[in-house]
Structure 1
Amino acid sequence: MSGRKAQAARNDKIIAEAARKVFVADPSAPIAAVAEAAEVGISALYRRYPSKEDLLRKVCADGLEIYTALVQEGVDALQDGAGDPWAAFENVMRRVVEADTHSITVALAGTFTPSPELFAASERANTLNAALVERAHAAGVLRPDVTDEDLGPIFEQLAAVHVENGRRTHALRQRYLTLYLDGLRTPPATSPLPWGGPTDEEREEPWIPKVSRT
């Protein structure tokens, strides 16, 4: 890759990461806010993404790509039959939550028109979800009444757990995922919950006007 192409690829990555951060926090934010966060000129951004919808589609496409790669790894691990099948299922669930792909869904669903490519990527994700659940059922580690349609709502509910401190957000999501996993497993489990629950201050955060947070 030439120096110019490499720089363009780096800029594209910076813009995409900035767009995800900006739009997940505020889907109504203008495209200029992305340029500011990425520290690029607005004209440079428009050359790459002619409209806000183009940028939103890029953010969602990147999230789907990450998600499908993680689920594919889980499907492959369960197919191999080596090791603990529950550990393979739990690993993909925890990695998806850690990747935070579903914050994109929660924030941006319905804010733009998906492209045919996005619909195709979504169908691939659905197919992989079905394969993951099917193989976990076949291994006898997932309760039989769980379906692949349950995965999305679980991830979306966990993505809604958010506090100002990013590390605490991660810790709380993993804590509540542990509760979900105990309920999904067969036979049911009672695992020690990691980290502490939300503090009084964290539970009060949503009620504090953002202009007052300093």
Structure 2
Amino acid sequence: MGTVEPATRLRADAQRNRDLIISAAKTVFASRGPDVPMEEIAKESGVGVGTLYRRFPDRDALIRAVAADNLGQILDKVRAAMAEEPTGWDALARIMRLSTDLRLSVALTASSERSLEIIRGDEKITELRRTLMGALDEVVTLAQREKTVRQDVGGGDVAVLCSLLLQKVRSLSEEGLEFATERCVAIMLDGLRASASNPLPGRPLTKNDVKH
């Protein structure tokens, strides 16, 4: 029987530890923000503090890695919606319901000026955001060609609507919170329909209006 090469096993272990750390950091950052002590993230991930710092030498590196991983997963889901849904409208509706997946990205950028600076200064993250905004533009344009989405909106409008869905409404009851997001998505989608009669003020928001 063959054995796994030590170098291959080490690479696999390193990747496993990295995945565990990022997964734990996502959970902690989403609930408590990015300023949680690194030791707590190590504990949550089940790896030693030394292992965490070998993979991510400081908090900035971990924030960048978590943001890039999160945006990459969202982009994959957006592309899947575009490839799998039969119409541009169906893809748009599916993407709007991905808003909860954006919660971590918003939490990271809204929680502190420092985390926003870290994320905006990273070229990989900037490119992921550009690509994601380009995909939203494509979906909106496709649905407009199908005459299912009103002509006076752009991908930037959809991005802003998704961000609004993530705002915490503390006055809602626990029961109301369970279906509030779904209701808001339905209301927003109705407003995006080509049949919507009231004109919108200003001009369509595009990817150039959304800061990367």
TM-score under structure 1 normalisation? 0.74
Deviation (angstroms), 1:60: 0.7
Contact 2:34–2:108 (8 Å) recurs in 1: yes
Matches within 5 A, 1:157-196: 157-161=164-168, 171-188=179-196
Q: Is the 8 A contact 2:33 2:108 kept in 1?
A: no
1:12-161 alignment, distance < 5 Å = 12-24=18-30, 25-77=32-84, 83-94=86-97, 96-97=98-99, 100-109=100-109, 110=113, 111=115, 112-113=117-118, 114-161=121-168
The number of aligned residues is 182
User: Residue by residue, what CA displacement relative to the aligned partner does 1:154-206 show, whole Å, maximum 9, x if unpaired?
Assistant: 1222122477x999756432222111111112224xxxxxxxxxxxxxxxxxx
Asked if the contact 2:88–2:139 (Cα under 8 Å) also holds between the matched residues in 1, the reply is: no
Partner Cα separation in structure 1 for residue 82 and residue 39 of structure 2: 40
Tell me the CA shift for residue 153 of structure 1.
Answer: 1.8
Mapped to 1, the partners of 2:9 and 2:176 lie a distance apart of 39
Q: Which of 3, 11, 23 in structure 1 is aligned with 2:17?
A: 11
Contact 1:137/1:143 (8 A) holds in 2: yes
The alpha-carbon deviation at position 11 of structure 1 amounts to 1.9
Q: Can you give the 5+ residue segments of structure 1 that lack an aligned partner in the other structure?
A: 189-214
Tell me the CA shift for residue 57 of structure 1. Answer: 0.5
The alignment-based identity, stated in percent, is 26
One-letter amino acid of the counterpart of residue 15, structure 1: I
AA aligned opposite 2:188: Y
What is the rounded CA distance, in whole Å, between the counterparts of 2:101 and 2:169 in structure 1?
14
Aligned partner of residue 160 in structure 1, secondary structure = coil
Tell me, in whole angstroms, the C-alpha distance in 2 between the residues paired with 1:132 and 1:166.
33
Superposed CA RMSD in Å reads 2.8
Question: Do 1:106 and 1:160's aligned partners in 2 also have CA atoms closer than 8 Å?
Answer: no
Please give the alpha-carbon distance, in whole angstroms, between the structure 1 residues aligned to 2:37 and 2:90.
Answer: 42
Tell whether the 8 Å contact from 1:15 to 1:38 is kept in structure 2 after alignment.
yes
Structure 1 residues 132 and 45, CA gap change in structure 2 (3 angstroms) = same
SS of 2:153's equivalent in the other structure is coil
Which amino acid in 2 is paired with 1:64?
Answer: L
Distance 1:62 1:174 in 2: 25
| 1:159 alignment partner AA | L
Cα offsets for 1:3-37 (capped at 9, x unmatched): 43333322221111111111222222122221121
* CA apart distance, 1:135: 0.8
